[in-house]
Amino acid sequence: MSEIVKIAQYNGIQEYMHVDASRPGDLIIETKQDLEPIIQRAKELSEQTPGKEWRHVACIPMWFIDQAVKKGVSMSDRKYWHRWLNDPANKAFRTWPGNIGPTHQV
């Protein structure tokens, strides 16, 4: 096991680098974020009555946004974010239970 070195910390995100013994020529950059405070905030917001014109629909962790941008996903790619928001695996981050689709604001 190689030494793990913390290289950055910002917006609740920590980045570490290390070399994996099974991949000695590769430098591994690992990103971590404590999602529990974000999940708790989403839960608190979900317990409030939404307004009729604007609805807060989710608390998206910066880690997910960072990973999407690294994959080339634009923040304005509505189809991608609609899928992400409607994915049951991301339910903990939702603040409104309705379906997010092309007729709803993101």
How many angstroms separate the Cα of 88 from the Cα of each of 9, 30, 84, 99? 29, 25, 9, 11
Is the model's pLDDT at 85 over the cut of 90? Answer: yes
Residue 90's pLDDT is 95
Sign of the torsion angle spanned by Cα atoms 62, 68, 74, 78 = negative
Do 54 and 103 sit in the same domain of this protein? Answer: yes
Question: Does 21 share its domain with 44?
Answer: no
Q: 40 and 29 share a domain?
A: no
Residues 54 and 104 in one domain: yes
The predicted structure's pLDDT at residue 1: 54
Same domain as 42, residue 16: no
Rounded mean pLDDT of 19-32? 85
pLDDT surpasses 80 at 58: yes
Are both 51 and 13 inside the same structural domain? Answer: no
Q: Are residues 27 and 41 in the same domain?
A: no
Are 66 and 105 within one domain? Answer: yes
How far does Cα 65 stand from its chain's mean position?
Answer: 5
* 61 contact partners, CB below 8 Å, separation of at least 6: 33, 35, 38, 93
92 and 45 assigned to the same domain: yes
Is 51's pLDDT higher than 80? Answer: no
Contact partners, residue 19, CB within 8 Å, separation at least 6: 2, 26, 27, 28
Domain of residue 78: give its range: 34-106
**What is the number of domains present in the chain?**
2
